[in-house]
Amino acid sequence: MKFLSRVQVFALDLLFPESCVSCASEGTPLCSSCENLLTSIPPTCIVCKKFSPEKNHALAGKTCPPCRGKTAISHFFSPFSYQSKPASTIIHSLKYKRIRSLAPVMAKILGNYLLRFRIFAPAGAVLVPIPLHPRRERERGFNQSELIARDLGVILNIPSRSLLSRSRPTHPQTSLGIDARRTNVERAFSAHTSEGYKLAILIDDVKTTGATLDEAARVLKKAGIEQVWAITFAH
């Protein structure tokens, strides 16, 4: 059965060769030329978006002092603007065109970004993908954040665990205003257990207002996680 499966995959590759989601050249889901077009942004505060560089041995991406009372997230890393291409094309192609082969590509790019800014998670860290409601995950066929977290975990040698679940369905955040987005995700998550982890690193494809990430972080901290970081591909 495994042999047949490999033959089928090989045949599909011959009939429908993979192409770059940005320029349509054959070969890979994101060609090297288009990957080089990605312009990364140094780590910023998740609330006020001011640059947050490494300082006095403190990691870059730290939430600045005036903003610490406004979020449960202590560090934030997001290399690209969602308004820029091909970043937005990559995210859209993974989520809506279901090109799953983009997940390891995005994970590799995120891993290189963290290495560039010397971001190393301490012992006791775990990657936690933002969950979809089961109904939406069935419709899509997968959770894009889970795919990215799984591949990034291999790169960083950090376990990936689904410590969160959606306790109720929510409306798509893109269709809502700022205040409505926060109301939309209130009590939307439940935490299974902290499993003894001290640091949870939330993984999502894109951060908009940050309401989803912040609500997930608050739930994890209530479950016993001491500190929460967040990593998204774009913001």
Confidence of residue 10 (pLDDT cuts 50, 70, 90): very low
Q: Does 86 sit behind a cis peptide bond, omega within 30 degrees of 0 on the bond before it?
A: yes
Best CA proximity match to 46, nearest among 163, 220, 211: 211
Q: What percent of the chain has pLDDT over 70?
A: 85
Confidence of residue 192 (pLDDT cuts 50, 70, 90): confident
What is the model's pLDDT at position 134? 87
Confidence of residue 88 (pLDDT cuts 50, 70, 90): very high
What is the model's pLDDT at position 167? 78
Using the predicted structure, report yes or no on whether residue 197 has a pLDDT greater than 90.
yes
Using the predicted structure, report yes or no on whether residue 55 has a pLDDT greater than 90.
no
Using the predicted structure, report yes or no on whether residue 128 has a pLDDT greater than 50.
yes
Integer Cα distance of 147 and 103 in angstroms: 6
- The number of residues in the chain equals 235
- Average pLDDT, rounded, for the chain: 89
pTM recorded for the entire structure: 0.89
Average pLDDT, integer, range 1-25? 64
Using the predicted structure, report yes or no on whether residue 51 has a pLDDT greater than 50.
yes
All structural domains of the chain: 1-37 (no CATH), 39-234 (3.40.50)
